[in-house]
Chains A and B, each alone.
Chain A
Amino acid sequence: MIAGEKATDVLVVGAGIAGMEASLLLAEAGRRVHLVEKTSAIGGMVTKCEEVFANMECATCMVSPKQQAILQNDRIELVTLGEVVGVAGSAGDFTVRVKQRAGYVDPVSCIGCAQCFEACPVKIPNEFEERLGQRAAISVPCAGALPNVPYVDTEHCLRFTKGEECTVCQEACVFGAVDFSQKDEEKELHVAAILMATGFELLKAPELERYGYGKIPGVHTAHEFERLFASNGPTTGELVLRDGRAPETAAVVHCVGRDEKDYCSGVCCMYSLKFAHYFKKKLPEARVVQLYRDLCVPGKSYQRFCERTQEHGGELLRTPEVEISGQNGKVSVSYPDGGGGRQNLDVDMVVLSPAMVPSAGTAEVAELLDLPRDEAGFLVEAEAAAPASSPKPGVYVAGCAGGPVDIQGAVAQAEAAVAGILTQGD
């Protein structure tokens, strides 16, 4: 770009559903987009799901056209394994430094054949699979991940951890795509606007301890359950307990973390109900009880989904709180019986539906950008301004980076952020 020329490029941070939508629209409008994603694959949290509520649509089929469109768009420069490391300037004239970690695989020569990670001697728990499956030190998160290009995890690759001259992956690759001479790269971008679409994660282990997670083998998180059901997951879609048995009874516990976080994430009821459909599909005989507090099924179509779940045998049980304990391979869910005592529900499997919290890394980027965050760590939206704008001019927020929201809401926010960006300075 020529010095003094007005910036029109846009930086989008996070390639989940919101970041992808915004990038595609901005590119359609003629803008050049730098889409920075911290992992090796795009699509975000939706790619963990096999199906999405309320139409029980195949999630992969839903997002893969968007992913392909991103990869094939000449105006979108995707930076995977990327992170923003510096920001200066103001609306219309930001200078951003973006670091791309070396993945040690040349994306042009790699065809994604998987030979390298099948050969790799390292086997470690796969984080994308919620550690229910394994991956190599050179890997893609799951089958079907896009871009279908593995990367070398330097925290586990023997070359980096032990200084060994291991070249197994390099030898396995007939295209010469594995390239250990790659270096981390840092580049400077000149952008007019920045969209924060850094997404969410689900409440994690220490805060789930009081629900027996980590201590009782039958207790799973929602994302673990998603991966168990996923046809490209660690069990290729078989719903099994950690000991390999199929559960005959299950309890889905809503509102996990709602009190601690002091907010309702708005989507847990729906995805919990979805789990009843998952059970019905794979284990039609299983008894599945939803322990909920308030049914939060807002909008024109969600309540019908709840009705359908009940018609399919999903049981609903309202309770203000639960206590979970384990014994002899069973999980006992205790809840108040309404008369001062307690009742027990013994099940094989408990699925916890935890609150949405900001994704790891949100804090760091927010700090770089000098963006305010709320007590829970979400980015704060500007009051009484155009939708999806942050208090800092030229910086926009879409999707769960700004608070829990469903896919529909995240997409709408992304599209609204695009409106803000395209009219910025008008």
Chain B
Amino acid sequence: MDKQIGVFVCECGPNIAGNVEIDMLLEAAASMKGVALAERHKLLCSPDGQKFLAEKIAEHGLTRVVVAACSPKQHGPTFMGVCERAGLNPYLMQMANIREQCAWIIEDKEEATRKALRHLRAATARVAHHAPLEKLEIECNPDVLIIGGGVAGMQAALLLASGDREVYIIERSDSLGGAAVQFEKVFLAMRSAAEMIAERAARIKANPHIHVLTGCEPQEVVGFFGNFIITVGRPEAEPQQIRAGAVVVATGFELLAPEALAPYGYGEVEDVLTSLEFERMNASGKIVLKNGQAPKSVAILHCIGREERRYCSAVCCLYSMKLARYLKDKVPGAAVTEFYSDLCIPGRWQQGFYRQTAEAGVEFVRASGARAIEEGGRPAVKYVEEAGKENSRTFDMVILSPAMVAPHDAGQVAQMLGVEIGQSGFYAEEHPKLAPVSTSLEGVYVAGCAQGPKGISESAVQAGAAAGKILSSLVPGRKLETEAKTSVISALLCQGCQTCLKVCVYSAIRYDEAKDVCVVNEVLCKGCGNCAAACPSGAARVKHFTPRQIGREVAEILR
């Protein structure tokens, strides 16, 4: 059947009509190829205008529509909706922006009209090559797999598990709790970490919809949002396959490795401990030196590794103060000195915690380059004073507060999942501000310190955020709708060079080794066009942005 293109020019009151010769556009449109109808309307987006458009589509059996009006950002969805309701595939409509790009910005009416005409010609030429597109609907599995059973993983599980959603936690160690189990207390409320974790672990245990697999690690992940299959390695058992619609990565952090602490005196000087060692010592109930005596003076060194890692771990100042509180509680007579470079105590209550710590008699010394050395057979802290002078002071004990770093195998897990790791070694979020717990792969979320160093409450918030994202997008019984404007790779033209694989930010392309071609997963593809732009053989194309469509459009703009 011949293409029956209807052209509709909106006057937008005086906004367009006042500075563009509408009659001229209509006259020109009437003689364009395929145009069966050219009409004007005072305000096409108004209820009356929409009704007018729908009636004309039906009345004239239009198979393509061009709307010359405002920015498609403003009313693209409006007119797509009108087409759909009128029985025309919404992708067979094209807008020409003759308001923002013509009438509003060009003073001279003749010139504005000329430009509007180019846009109209371009839209009409383009729409002739449009193809109807459909959004796919796929069945999905609402279950969730959580990697890591620390604070974040447990929190996410408790929010997600329900009668119609099973949750699997795979935890590498033999118990839940993660790093926090090693802390006697947590700032700011100085509550017991063990109690908090035991309470959550008990709720998890009591929940029939949460399945905890300890001593397990992921081995392979295949699939995509809504339909992942994760192979989980188990000790002394066959690997198990778990099906889930979404994955939450909550693999936590590690502290800077001991070898990186050597320049700070760790391992070289006696009675130099890491913060974690001190936590354990405190939890054992006895804070003592190697010689069995209680320390009379203790130094706590902040920012260990900050300079090398090029980030501030955000919690070391506060946990260092917490350690000082332990000391003031258990060894009341001990003098405690904190060497810090910047006090990083953001938030509503943190400065109060600092003030209380200072009021408890803890000394705070601003210093740079602080490290432990041996001086006269005793540990000492060598540092540069604020005024620039080098100094050293002896102590009985020195505690190092090292930076948080990503787990040593974060890279491997990320690769298995097909998500990105950022500059600092932690999982990269989809957008640093607007999508903090989403990753480059839809359906894979990251929460807690796996995403970056942070405290327990922020980790819990991120776990809640990941749960919120999953609860709202992966609804039991509901199908997932995919993007219509996806990319396709022609198996005939594809040379198997895999250039597209590297530029795809949604991990939507895989390489089929047997056929030596790349294949697009339409469920994951968002139609960004990176692959189409990068493909050297023209095999990758984005629907609705084909070379022919763009070519015709550009040719008419330039004609």
Q: With a CB–CB cut-off of 8 A, which chain A residues contact B473? A: 28-29
Q: For A3, list chain B residues within 8 Å (CB).
A: none
User: Which among A262, A301, A387 is the interface contact of B423 at CB below 8 angstroms?
Assistant: A301
Closest Cβ–Cβ distance, residue A300 to chain B (whole Å) = 4
Whether a CB of chain B sits under 8 angstroms from the CB of A314 is no
- List the A residue with the shortest CB-CB distance to B349: A263
Interface size on B, residues (CB 8 A): 68
Question: A168 near B: Cβ within 8 Å?
Answer: no
Q: Which of A185-193, A224-232, A325-333, A407-415 contacts B (4 or more CB under 8 A)?
A: A407-415
Let me know if B347 and A403 touch, CB within 8 A: yes
Q: In the complex, what residues of A have CB within 8 A of residue B475's CB?
A: 29-30
Task: Identify the stretch in A85-93, A237-245, A302-310 within 8 Å (CB) of chain B at 4 or more residues.
Answer: A302-310
Task: Mark interface residues in B306-323 (1 if CB within 8 Å of A CB, else 0).
Answer: 100011111000000000
A411 touches B435 (CB 8 A): yes
Q: Are A416 and B464 in contact (CB under 8 A)?
A: yes
Beta-carbon contact of B436 and A412 below 8 Å? yes
Contact residues in B for A264 (Cβ distance below 8 Å): 343, 345-347, 350-351
Residues in chain B near residue A25, CB distance under 8 A: 468-469, 472
Q: Mark B489-516, 1 if CB is under 8 A from A, else 0.
A: 0000000000000000000000000000
Question: In the complex, how many residue pairs between chain A and chain B have their CB atoms under 8 Å apart?
Answer: 200
List chain B residues, Cβ under 8 A from A52: 433
Q: Known: A28-B473, A111-B12, A299-B311. Contact between A419 and B351, CB under 8 A?
A: no
Task: Let me know if A175 and B13 touch, CB within 8 A.
Answer: yes
Chain A to chain B contacts (Cβ below 8 Å), 5 pairs: A21-B434, A25-B469, A62-B434, A294-B343, A298-B453
* A57–B432 CA distance with the chains assembled, in angstroms: 10
User: Would you call B386 and A412 a contact (CB within 8 A)?
Assistant: no
Choose one: B47, B432, B434; the contact of A301 (CB below 8 Å): B432
Residue A388 at the chain B interface, CB threshold 8 Å = yes
Question: A298 to B468, Cβ gap below 8 A?
Answer: no
In Å, the complex CA distance between A378 and B471 comes to 28
Known contacts A267-B346, A415-B437; 15 additional CB pairs below 8 A are A28-B473, A29-B473, A30-B475, A264-B347, A297-B312, A299-B454, A303-B306, A303-B311, A303-B312, A374-B348, A378-B348, A387-B461, A408-B433, A419-B471, A422-B471
- In residues 125-173 of chain B, which contact A (Cβ within 8 Å)? 155, 159, 162
Give the residues in chain A near B346, CB-CB below 8 Å: 264-267, 296, 298, 404
Q: A422 and B472: CB pair below 8 A?
A: yes
Q: What residues of chain A lie closer than 8 Å to B471, measured between beta carbons? A: 29, 418-419, 422-423
Verify A297–B344 contact, CB threshold 8 A.
yes
* Residues of B403-444 whose CB lies within 8 A of A: 422-424, 426, 429, 432-437
B387's contact among A66, A111, A338, by CB below 8 Å, is which? A338
B188-201 Cβ-contact flags toward A at 8 Å (1 or 0): 01010000100000
Set of chain B residues within 8 Å of A68, measured between Cβ atoms: 73
Using a CB–CB distance below 8 Å, which chain B residues touch chain A?
Answer: 12-15, 43, 45-47, 70, 73, 77, 155, 159, 162, 189, 191, 196, 306, 310-314, 342-352, 355, 386-387, 422-424, 426, 429, 432-437, 452-454, 457-458, 460-469, 471-473, 475, 478
**Assembled-state Cα–Cα distance A266/B314 (Å):** 10
Q: Is A376 positioned at the interface, with any CB of B under 8 Å from its CB?
A: yes
Complex contact B47–A108 (CB within 8 A): yes
Q: By the criterion CB–CB under 8 Å, are A417 and B468 in contact?
A: yes
Using a CB-CB cutoff of 8 Å, which residues 369-426 of chain A contact chain B?
A: 374, 376, 378, 383-384, 386-388, 402-409, 411-420, 422-423, 426
Residues of A within 8 A of B191 (CB): 384
Asked if B347 contacts A412 (CB within 8 A), the reply is: no
A360 proximal to B (CB < 8 A): no
* B352 engages A299 (CB within 8 Å): no
User: Which of the residues B12, B73, B472 comes within 8 Å of A26, measured between beta carbons?
Assistant: B472
Pairwise interchain contact B433-A175, C-beta atoms closer than 8 A: no
Chain A nearest Cβ from B103, distance in angstroms: 10
> Are B347 and A263 closer than 8 Å at their CB atoms?
yes
A411 and B463 CA atoms in complex are apart in Å by 12
> Which chain A residue shows the least CB distance to B471?
A422
B351 A258 Cβ-Cβ under 8 A: yes
* Contact with B467, one of A72, A109, A416 (Cβ below 8 angstroms): A416
| CB pair A301 B311 closer than 8 Å | yes
Are A62's CB and B348's CB within 8 A?
A: no
A301 & B424 in contact (Cβ 8 Å cutoff): yes
| Docked pose: A57 CA to B433 CA in angstroms | 10
Choose among A267, A298, A388, A416 the residue that contacts B312 (Cβ–Cβ < 8 A): A298
Name A312-342 residues within 8 Å CB distance of B: 318, 338-339
- Cα A76 to Cα B182 in complex, Å, equals 45
Question: Quick check: B347 and A266 within 8 Å, CB to CB?
Answer: yes
Which of A21, A298, A408 interacts with B432 by CB under 8 Å? A408
- B-facing residues in A161-186 (Cβ within 8 Å): 174-175
What CA separation (Å) do A426 and B203 show in the bound complex?
14
Ranked 9 nearest A-B pairs via Cβ? A266-B346, A416-B464, A298-B314, A415-B465, A403-B348, A418-B468, A419-B468, A29-B472, A300-B452
Selected contact of A416 from candidates B43, B348, B423, B468, CB within 8 Å: B468
- The answer on a CB contact under 8 Å between A300 and B424 is yes
- Which residues of chain B have C-beta atoms less than 8 A from A216's C-beta? none
B155 and A387 within 8 A (CB) = yes
- Whether A412 pairs with B465 at a CB distance below 8 angstroms is yes
Q: A25-B469, A412-B437, A415-B468 are in contact. Are A294 and B349 (CB under 8 A)?
A: no
Cα of A426 to Cα of B161 in the assembled complex, Å: 10
Provide the A38-80 mask, 1 if CB < 8 A to any CB of B, else 0: 0000000000000010110100001000101000100000000
* CA A87 to CA B345, docked complex, whole Å: 36
Task: Write out the residue numbers on chain A whose beta carbons fall within 8 Å of the beta carbon of B422.
Answer: 300-301
* A-chain residues with CB within 8 Å of residue B452 when the two chains form the complex: 299-301
Q: Digit string of A115-135 for contact with B (CB within 8 Å is 1, else 0)? A: 100000000000000000000
Q: How far is the CB of B344 from the nearest CB of chain A, in Å?
A: 5
Which residues of the partner chain B approach A388 to less than 8 Å between Cβ atoms? 461, 464
Known: A111-B13, A387-B463. A415 touches B469 (CB 8 A): yes
Q: Give the CA-CA distance A422 to B160 in the complex, in Å.
A: 10
A294 CA to B342 CA, complexed, in Å: 5
Write the chain A residue with the least CB distance to B422: A300
* A72 CA / B81 CA spacing, docked (Å): 11
**A28 touching B472, Cβ below 8 Å:** yes
Given known A-B contacts A29-B475, A300-B422, A419 and B345 have beta carbons under 8 A apart: no
In the complex, residue of chain B having the shortest beta-carbon distance to the beta carbon of A398: B461
CA distance A386 to B471 in the complex (A): 15
A299 touches B312 (CB 8 A): yes
Q: Which of A387, A404, A420 contacts B347 (CB 8 A)?
A: A404
In the complex, chain B residues whose CB is within 8 Å of the CB of A205:
none
Q: Check if A246 is an interface residue, CB within 8 A of chain B.
A: no
Closest to B313 in A: A298
Q: How far is the CA of A264 from the CA of B292 in the complex (A)?
A: 40
Q: Does A295 contact B (CB under 8 A)?
A: yes
A387 and B310 within 8 A (CB): no
The CA of A295 and the CA of B473, in the complex, are separated in Å by 39
Cβ-based interface call for A345 (8 A): no
Which A residues are CB-close (under 8 A) to B424?
300-301
A113 beta carbon closer than 8 Å to chain B: yes
Distance of A393 Cα from B437 Cα, bound (Å): 26
Question: Chain B nearest CB: distance from A196 CB in Å?
Answer: 15
With contact pairs A387-B461, A404-B346, A412-B462 given, residues A262 and B351 touching in the complex (Cβ less than 8 Å): yes
Q: In angstroms, how far is the closest chain B Cβ from the Cβ of A35? A: 15
CB–CB A419/B432 < 8 A: no
Cross-chain contact B457 with A387 (CB below 8 angstroms): yes
Bound complex: CA A108 to CA B43 (Å): 11
A302–B312 touching, CB < 8 Å: yes
- Contact with A386, one of B159, B310, B314, B454 (Cβ below 8 angstroms): B159
In the docked arrangement, what's the CA distance between A195 and B232, Å? 38
Query: Which residues of A sit under 8 angstroms from B70, Cβ to Cβ?
Result: 111
User: Which residues from chain B contact A411 at a C-beta distance below 8 Å?
Assistant: 433-436, 465
Whether B46 lies near A422 (C-beta < 8 A) is: no
Chain A's closest residue to B427 (CB) is: A300
- Chain A residue numbers with a CB within 8 Å of B432 are 54-55, 301, 408
Give the docked Cα–Cα distance between A108 and B47 (Å). Answer: 9
